[in-house]
Amino acid sequence: MSFSTCISFDSSGGFAIQSTKANIFEDSGGVVIGACAVGLSSTATVTKCDSVDELEGIFTNIGVSGNLGPISVGGEVNFASDWEPVGGTISTGIGAGVDVHMSGTKTKSIIKGKTKNFFSDIGKYLLGVFAK
């Protein structure tokens, strides 16, 4: 199982807080194939998608991760559902183990808005969560 949350920005002034997960027990078709590795990483992804909306949906990621001493490093190529390469990801953090992996992931947006309204859009979302 793999889970991540990120803030995505696009060149049109849009932003989204998005969650991505690979879970073989859910409908995303997610699979994770690889040796055992455990860690906590910070990642950076660059894609050729035009908007944060295009980052939603099912993707396939093929990559490798391993350790340089106590530091974990990794990289992935990200593919759309038609196997078109759409981006790449690098990661660094702390962890143990080495793996070569292929994962099916599903990304959805939690909050979307315009960058100029970033803090007010997040504030409105949080007020809605805590008002329930």
- Taken in order of first residue, the domains within the chain and their CATH numbers are 2-131 (2.40.128)
Residue 121: per-residue pLDDT? 80
Residue 78: pLDDT band (50, 70, 90) is very high
Residue 26: per-residue pLDDT? 59
Q: What are phi and psi of 10, to 5 degrees?
A: -125, 170
Q: For residues 131 and 108, which has the higher predicted lDDT (pLDDT)?
A: 108
CB 16 within 8 A of CB 111: yes
Q: For residues 67 and 128, which has the higher predicted lDDT (pLDDT)?
A: 67
Average pLDDT over residues 23-50: 73
Residue 23: per-residue pLDDT? 62
pLDDT higher than 70, residue 25: no
Per-residue burial over 18-57, b = 16 or more CB atoms within 10 Å of its CB, e = otherwise: bebbbbeeeebebebeeeebebebeeebebebeebeebbe
pLDDT higher than 70, residue 132: no
Residue 24: per-residue pLDDT? 58
Q: What does pTM read for this prediction?
A: 0.75
Residue 16: per-residue pLDDT? 93
Rounded percentage of the chain residues whose pLDDT exceeds 90: 38
